Chains A and B, each alone.
Chain A
Amino acid sequence: MRRRRVEEPDEIQDGEYEEEDDQLIDDGEEEYYEYMTKRGNSTRKRSRSSFIDDAAVEDNEEDDDDEDYGGGGSRSKRRNSRRKGECFFETQAVEDGDEDEDEEEEADGGEDFIDYGGLELPEEDDGRRVHQRPLHEPEDEYEIVRRLEERYSRASRRESDEEATGIGQQALLPSVHDAKFWRVKCVAGREREMAVCLMQKSIDRGPDQLQITSVITRDHLENYIYVEAHKESHVREACKGLRNVYFSQKPQLVPIKEMTDVLSVESKEVDLARDTWVRIKTGIYKGDLAKVVDVDNVRRKVTVKVIPRIDMQAIATRLEGREAGESRKAIAPHPRFMNINEARELNIHVERKRDPLTGDYFEKMDGKLFSDGFLYKSVAMKCITAANIRPSFDELEKFGKPGEHCDDDRMISLSALSGNRKKEQYLKGDAVIVLKGDLKNLKGRVEKVEADSVHIRPEAKGLPRTLTVHEKDLGKYFEPGNHVKVVSGTRKGATGMVVKVDQHVVIILSDTTKEHIHVFAGDVVECSEVASGGGVTKIGDYEHRDLVALQNGGRKGGQGGLIGSTIKIRRGAFKGERGRLIGMISQTMWRIQHHTVILVDMASEVRPQCILLGLHCTSPMGDANATPYQFGMRTPMHGMECAG
């Protein structure tokens, strides 16, 4: 479809032709264009030179013609002009439209040259019929204008879509011409209901009756809804008859600069999805890691699963009617997976329930729900923190498999569980592997680190020298045999040789303790340094080879002399464990180095009385009350040195 605006000067006309031709292609009138090329192929060469010459000759003549003829113009004139303009452009095929007219009379003139086959002929006929029609009928100016408007409006609409996505939000900021936001008071808890009510009302009344364009509610903002309208009167009119919306307080106009804030959502608000790791902020589970199982935005609560801290004995005594010695213990029971049979043995009532929504089975005991060893509890969103949760290896380990110890499964589940971790820090030269996307399993070395993306030099041949990968698709890579050092986490300071790697988890043979330790790949760097003394050369104020004066030395329970000695714990949660006493904070609080190198500071669990009662000291003397100043006896200094 090539129509020109006859009234406009030549220079612009040429430009327009170009535009039009481009539009032709963009608008999907490709088929017409293709049709024309098909038709025109045969005749293109023949016609081209002749038309070019024609155009050159006709140029000046055309100017006069234009001025004379003004609007409308005869069909033949149009034909000439068309010929004139189009021949300047590559789309010579389009020109052949002229020839079609001629060739029509010649009955399939152009088709002699090319055999299109039976299938194509009918198509061409249709095309010809459809597109040739305008040539035969006298065209109204208004028709032309209308068709052009249609064509351009379609194009501009599509462009604005793409532009908006491309340019981003900047282009969409509110202007003074847009409707305003009015903040309206309503009954607490009914905000969503009101938004939906107004929607229903708008549908019932019909289009453009309710002069409001949208209603917004925010989960965290009770008592208010935002109504988008040009005038306050429209807001009042729309809310007439709604019991839960009231105007005792005047609707507040939201300033233009704050309009986008009304609609913005903090990513952390939405982060509380199922399976996210959170930490509980209050109650006996304070600080404990938990996993979100269900989110209820309406009541602002989440259901989480957490390792139970249950004191069965206390529950049993309470239920039996006997008064417990201390109604509420100051210290929370140690986290332990729930064994429902224990409860049954103690004659505590256990009920088996089925959740109608998920179909899962739960055991209900003492008003709490348990499943698979975990406690499922409902907490308010305010009591949960989801930001920057960095579950330690041990926490994840515990969570992964309650009770079972299948190594492979554990490794896999741990890798998956570590998904919530904070960003890993990459250094230039780190060996990395791509974890996701098309380049999965590609190994390389870090060349450059940017905010979100990392440039790596891949090992594979045939690839460009550096590739850019998003940092979340990347993970550190270690080959078995690498010597590494742990730089963060609970095992910080340890060094060793990599034995096995599985996605995010690396197993290292520690240089000092000769045991296998599991760490996250993000906490490890390649390093040839070998840790000495188990990596712990400094505890509190004391460092390796410091000269110290013994305190509490002598007889008093022999406690002073115990520092550095191995003790066995006889009561409490760590019953049966061995550790080395490395310090005393006070007479009743001791610090014991457990073999997993956690500096355990659990006064509640390890009361000195418990230890002294069943003290088993593995010092050479074998006598807890012996004075420490005997030859061969371990002294704190000596003990510290061998603390590894």
Chain B
Amino acid sequence: MGSNHNHPAPAAQIPTSFGHELRACLRCRLVKTYDQFRESGCENCPFFKMEEDHEHVVDCTTPNFNGIISVMDPARSWAARWLRIGKFVPGCYTLAVSEQLSEDLQMLCQEERVLYVPPKRV
């Protein structure tokens, strides 16, 4: 595989604070603040168009998540691969989110031919 020769994708924005404002994208589990999502959307899921409408931020992200993982090198990290975020840009992610994407948004993912895996319930 020639992947090692590729230049790494630019990292996602790093969260600027750690309080209530932190939210996680329901599809890729990227963690940023509400304002950051509002400004520049989700780097892995541009089709959600969060920068266009603040409602999208509320629909596509959640403040209910558990654990943080900072991924510096998604291609080489075993943890990122295990969590299936190895194909995403470097950034801060969460281990698990509590909610599912709404059905409409799941359809959008299908149309965009991107993978969406709902959170597992034990």
Instruction: Please tell me if the beta carbons of A213 and B67 are within 8 angstroms of each other in the complex.
Output: no
Number of A-B contacts (CB under 8 A): 141
Instruction: Please tell me if the beta carbons of A156 and B1 are within 8 angstroms of each other in the complex.
Output: yes
User: Given that A203-B90, A273-B99, A295-B64 are contacting pairs, would A213 and B82 also be in contact in the complex, using a CB cutoff of 8 Å?
Assistant: no
A218 within 8 A of B: yes
Candidates B3, B14, B69; contact of A200 at CB < 8 Å: B14
User: Given that A153-B1, A199-B92, A219-B66 are contacting pairs, would A213 and B77 also be in contact in the complex, using a CB cutoff of 8 Å?
Assistant: yes
A420 within 8 A of B: no
Instruction: Please tell me if the beta carbons of B18 and A196 are within 8 angstroms of each other in the complex.
Output: yes
Contacts of B64 in A (CB 8 A): 270, 272-274, 295, 297
Shortest beta-carbon distance from B83 to chain A in Å: 6
* CA distance in complex: A199, B91 (Å): 7
Candidates A169, A271, A273; contact of B82 at CB < 8 Å: A169
A107 within 8 A of B: no
State which residues 246-272 of A face B: CB under 8 Å.
259-260, 262-263, 265-272
* CA distance in complex: A263, B77 (Å): 13
Binds A, one of B38-46, B51-59, B104-112, B114-122: B114-122
* CA distance in complex: A228, B70 (Å): 10
* CA distance in complex: A202, B96 (Å): 23
B 16-44 to A, binary, CB cutoff 8 A, 1 in contact else 0? 00111000000000000000000000000
* CA distance in complex: A63, B79 (Å): 52
Instruction: Please tell me if the beta carbons of B1 and A196 are within 8 angstroms of each other in the complex.
Output: no
Instruction: Please tell me if the beta carbons of B70 and A196 are within 8 angstroms of each other in the complex.
Output: yes
* CA distance in complex: A272, B99 (Å): 10
Contacts of A212 in B (CB 8 A): 72
Contacts of B60 in A (CB 8 A): none
Shortest beta-carbon distance from A64 to chain B in Å: 37
* CA distance in complex: A270, B70 (Å): 19
B48 within 8 A of A: no
* CA distance in complex: A473, B7 (Å): 47
Instruction: Please tell me if the beta carbons of B82 and A214 are within 8 angstroms of each other in the complex.
Output: no
B 56-90 to A, binary, CB cutoff 8 A, 1 in contact else 0? 00000011111111111100111111111001001
Instruction: Please tell me if the beta carbons of A218 and B15 are within 8 angstroms of each other in the complex.
Output: no
Instruction: Please tell me if the beta carbons of A216 and B69 are within 8 angstroms of each other in the complex.
Output: yes
* CA distance in complex: A216, B70 (Å): 6
B97 within 8 A of A: yes
Shortest beta-carbon distance from A199 to chain B in Å: 4
A365 within 8 A of B: no
Instruction: Please tell me if the beta carbons of B71 and A214 are within 8 angstroms of each other in the complex.
Output: yes
A 191-227 to B, binary, CB cutoff 8 A, 1 in contact else 0? 1110110111011000110101111111100000000
Contacts of A215 in B (CB 8 A): 69-70, 72
Contacts of B65 in A (CB 8 A): 270, 297
Instruction: Please tell me if the beta carbons of B14 and A172 are within 8 angstroms of each other in the complex.
Output: no
* CA distance in complex: A178, B86 (Å): 14
State which residues 266-290 of A face B: CB under 8 Å.
266-274
Instruction: Please tell me if the beta carbons of B80 and A172 are within 8 angstroms of each other in the complex.
Output: no
State which residues 335-359 of A face B: CB under 8 Å.
357
Contacts of A156 in B (CB 8 A): 1
Size category of the A interface is: 35 or more
For B91, give the chain A residue with the smallest CB separation.
A199
For A149, give the chain B residue with the smallest CB separation.
B2
Contacts of A207 in B (CB 8 A): 7-8, 73
A125 within 8 A of B: no
State which residues 457-497 of A face B: CB under 8 Å.
none
A 126-162 to B, binary, CB cutoff 8 A, 1 in contact else 0? 0000000000000000000000011001001100010
- Name the residue in A169, A199, A202, A217 with the highest tally of chain B Cβ atoms < 10 Å from its Cβ: A199
Contacts of B115 in A (CB 8 A): 161, 165
* CA distance in complex: A213, B78 (Å): 8
* CA distance in complex: A214, B88 (Å): 13
B98 within 8 A of A: yes
* CA distance in complex: A196, B18 (Å): 9
Contacts of A191 in B (CB 8 A): 68
User: Given that A200-B14, A214-B71, A295-B64 are contacting pairs, would A270 and B98 also be in contact in the complex, using a CB cutoff of 8 Å?
Assistant: yes
Shortest beta-carbon distance from B38 to chain A in Å: 15
* CA distance in complex: A296, B66 (Å): 11
Candidates B76, B96, B117; contact of A265 at CB < 8 Å: B96
Candidates B2, B69, B73, B122; contact of A266 at CB < 8 Å: B122
* CA distance in complex: A215, B14 (Å): 14
Instruction: Please tell me if the beta carbons of A228 and B79 are within 8 angstroms of each other in the complex.
Output: yes
Instruction: Please tell me if the beta carbons of A195 and B92 are within 8 angstroms of each other in the complex.
Output: yes
A644 within 8 A of B: no
Instruction: Please tell me if the beta carbons of A270 and B14 are within 8 angstroms of each other in the complex.
Output: no
Candidates B3, B8, B79; contact of A263 at CB < 8 Å: B79
A 28-46 to B, binary, CB cutoff 8 A, 1 in contact else 0? 0000000000000000000
For A472, give the chain B residue with the smallest CB separation.
B121
A416 within 8 A of B: no
Candidates A178, A195, A274; contact of B69 at CB < 8 Å: A195
Instruction: Please tell me if the beta carbons of A193 and B18 are within 8 angstroms of each other in the complex.
Output: yes
* CA distance in complex: A262, B71 (Å): 15
Instruction: Please tell me if the beta carbons of A213 and B122 are within 8 angstroms of each other in the complex.
Output: no
Contacts of B3 in A (CB 8 A): 157
Instruction: Please tell me if the beta carbons of B68 and A195 are within 8 angstroms of each other in the complex.
Output: yes
* CA distance in complex: A212, B77 (Å): 9
A312 within 8 A of B: no
Candidates B2, B63, B70, B79; contact of A295 at CB < 8 Å: B63
Contacts of A178 in B (CB 8 A): 78
Candidates A181, A219, A272; contact of B98 at CB < 8 Å: A272
For A174, give the chain B residue with the smallest CB separation.
B78
Contacts of A198 in B (CB 8 A): 70, 72
Closest 10 CB pairs of A and B: A178-B78, A213-B77, A265-B96, A199-B70, A202-B72, A267-B122, A270-B98, A273-B98, A215-B70, A213-B73
Q: List 5 A-B contacts (CB under 8 A).
A: A196-B18, A213-B80, A262-B79, A269-B96, A270-B65
B residues near A (Cβ < 8 Å) are: 1-3, 7-8, 11, 14-15, 18-20, 62-73, 76-84, 87, 90-92, 95-99, 115, 117, 119-122
Q: What would 7 more interface pairs be, CB under 8 Å, given A199-B72, A271-B98? A: A165-B117, A181-B79, A192-B68, A199-B11, A217-B69, A270-B65, A297-B66
